[in-house]
Amino acid sequence: MKKTLLILLFVPLLSIGQATKFVRQALRLNDPRAQIELLNQALEIDNKHLDALFYRGIAKYNLEDYDGAILDFTKIIFFEPDADSYYNRGNCKFNLLDYEGALFDYEKAIALDPDLIGAYFNLGNTKFNLEDFKGAVDAYTKVIHAFPNDYKSYSQRASAYMELKNYKAAFKDFGACILLRPNSQSYYNRGYALLEINYYKEAKDDFLKAIKVNPNNTPAYFYLGVSQFLLGEFEESIKSLTFATNKDQMDYDAHFGLAMAYYYINDLEKAKAKFERAKNLLGARGNDVLPVFKDTYWEVNEKQLFSELFKKLSAL
């Protein structure tokens, strides 16, 4: 009887060891699909092997199989809840635009491990998407306290402050971004924020700096042209917007901006040509072309100006 009992105990131990061996082999590979094959073998031996479930979830995430990854992390959470599994399941839900689900998982992850700083950053992004901008600020602040030089957290917190109309705090954070990373994107981001609150001169200065650092920053030329136009610098605006259209010939917003700028300097022939170009790019057909301009930059951000100039350009 004793010999029989030893045999019965010995076989499962061998099986568990073999499952772990498959997991270790999978972790040596870089191909997620090959990893999944080995991890599947481990789970055939032991369907509650938490490491196999966890790493298969990671492999599925890397293949953008977010639903499949969620199933694996959910199994782990059912058997033995842990912060990493909640965090990774939250990432899957975030990528599926399930922000409420992601919020739940990130908060669970933080409750289990308050030092999981990555969860705070992603929690901030989730709350931002849910328009809880105050909550987003609080989450990004947690990251900044842990990592005072984290560029992304300053940039994201600045955007949240902008939504809260706390412009003083926003520009302090945009300034921190420039100190940490004085690149074209940092100047561009602050310039865009300044443009949003009608600080046209300051925005223009930042777009000029963005272009000086990186002459290939095409969007900066468009917004430089916008800020120059709104400052009444029509000749300069034409130069900037022309550069933008040369870089991206499909930029209907830049073409419409050129139409307006040419109209203001009384070059009506070019104004009409650029207006027609913008309409063609937007797929305008027939006489009722106003609807195709819905949600364009000028229609959304400068409604009164857009409405006035659209009528004048249409009459040419």
Give 252-284 pLDDT, tens digit per residue. Answer: 999 999 999 999 999 999 999 999 999 999 998
Asked if residue 108 is part of any domain, the answer here is no
DSSP 3-state percent helix, strand, coil across the chain (nearest 5): 80, 0, 20
Q: Is residue 158 part of a domain?
A: no
DSSP 8-state secondary structure symbol assigned to residue 137: H
As a whole number of angstroms, the distance between CA 310 and CA 64 comes to 44
CB 144 within 8 A of CB 157: yes
Residue 124 lies in a domain: no
Residue 279 covered by a domain? yes
Q: Is residue 243 part of a domain?
A: yes
Dist. CA 109–CA 91, nearest whole Å: 11
In this structure, what CATH number is given to the domain that contains residue 212?
A: 1.25.40.10
pLDDT 10s digits, 29-78 = 999 999 999 999 999 999 999 999 999 999 999 999 999 999 999 999 99
Q: How many domains does the chain have?
A: 1
- Encode pLDDT of 217-246 as tens digits: 999 999 999 999 999 999 999 999 999 999
Separation between Cα atoms, residue 65 and residue 239, nearest integer Å: 46
**Domain region containing 274:** 205-315
Q: Which carries the bigger pLDDT value, residue 9 or residue 184?
A: 184
In whole angstroms, give the CA distance from residue 154 to residue 120.
Answer: 13
Q: Which of 238, 267, 268 is nearest to 255 (CA)?
A: 238
Non-local CB neighbours of 274 within 8 Å, separated by 6+ positions: 255, 256, 258, 259, 262
| CA–CA distance, 152 with 108 (Å, rounded to integer) | 23
Gyration radius of the chain over CA positions: 28
End-to-end CA distance of the chain: 103
**CB of 226 closer than 8 Å to CB of 258:** no
Domain assignment present for residue 281? The answer is yes
Identify whether 185 is part of a domain.
no
Q: Looking at the domain assignment, is residue 285 inside a domain?
A: yes
With contact defined as beta carbons under 8 Å apart, do 86 and 117 qualify? no
On whether the CB atoms of residues 41 and 52 are closer than 8 A, the answer is no
Burial class (CB in 10 A: 0-12, 13-18, 19+), 76: buried
pTM check: above 0.75: yes
